[in-house]
Amino acid sequence: KNRIQKLRDEISRLRNLYHIENTPNITDEVYDSLTRELKGLLEKYPGYVDQNSSLNRVAGKPLDKFKKVEHKHRMLSLNDAFNFEELEDWGNRVKKLLGGKKEIQYFCEVKFDGLAVSLVYENGIFVRGATRGDGFVGEDITENLKMINSIPLHLDTKKYNIPDELEVRGEVLMRKDVFKKLNVKQEKEGKPVYANTRNVAAGSLRQLDPQLVKERKLDFFAYDMFVHEGNDVFIKHSEEHVYLKNIGFNVDNHDAVCKD
């Protein structure tokens, strides 16, 4: 039991270094050997199997269709500004909504070009993932999202203060280097190449076969969160980013708090 727990903790730590911190400190061979040892022990002692372990990131049978999911909080999309005047108009509307407050802090972050999704965790366990859909109702793509290594299947409730029900929102995307390799593979097999990373990321998540999603090596970046049982934990959006990174999510570092 102790060895199984030690292996789980180490594999989780290494997964975080590789997929979240982007600073792997061991070879793939070492990681694979730890994973093999854990699998062997669990086969020998099935009573210690944890269905929510990242070891169970195994693609199941293809789905017949996606079920509909109603969002507890509407999933909005961002407005565009095409020139400085439109940005100023937006700034004036913000000040008006805040009762004419003059000094405001702005949080600037990157707009990803992927597919927006919602992840719901109950007691630290990933239980449901959905697309934005029309903002009110999306599609349940939980099994597909489980195939993305940068999405934690469970959060460390002992180490961190994790709400009983936490909703994390973010973007699923495909990195450029993965995209290039995929198109090389497509060309070799005589198949059409993909036009851009967004289309292939979104298209992958709309597949009914989780195994295909696993092969596409998609990534997830978190940028927002909701706590459902009460008021949100943080007042500032920048604090949410820090919290999300601390509990094990990819959060882009290109951000800034600005005074104007």
Cite the active site residues: 111
Ramachandran bin of 135, using left for φ above 0, alpha for ψ from -120 to 50, beta for the remaining angles: left
- The DSSP letter of residue 195 is S
- The DSSP letter of residue 150 is T
The residue among 127, 120, 135, 138 whose CA lies nearest residue 205 is: 138
**How far is the C-alpha of 145 from the C-alpha of 154, rounded, in Å?**
13
Residue 226's SS3 state is: strand
Q: How far apart are the first and last CA of the chain?
A: 55
**How far is the C-alpha of 188 from the C-alpha of 166, rounded, in Å?**
43
CA 242 to chain centre: 15
Q: Which residues lie closer than 8 Å to 226 by C-beta, 6 or more apart? A: 72, 73, 166, 167, 169, 232
Query: Do 17 and 25 meet the contact criterion of CB atoms below 8 Å apart?
Result: yes
Count of positions (residues) in the chain: 260
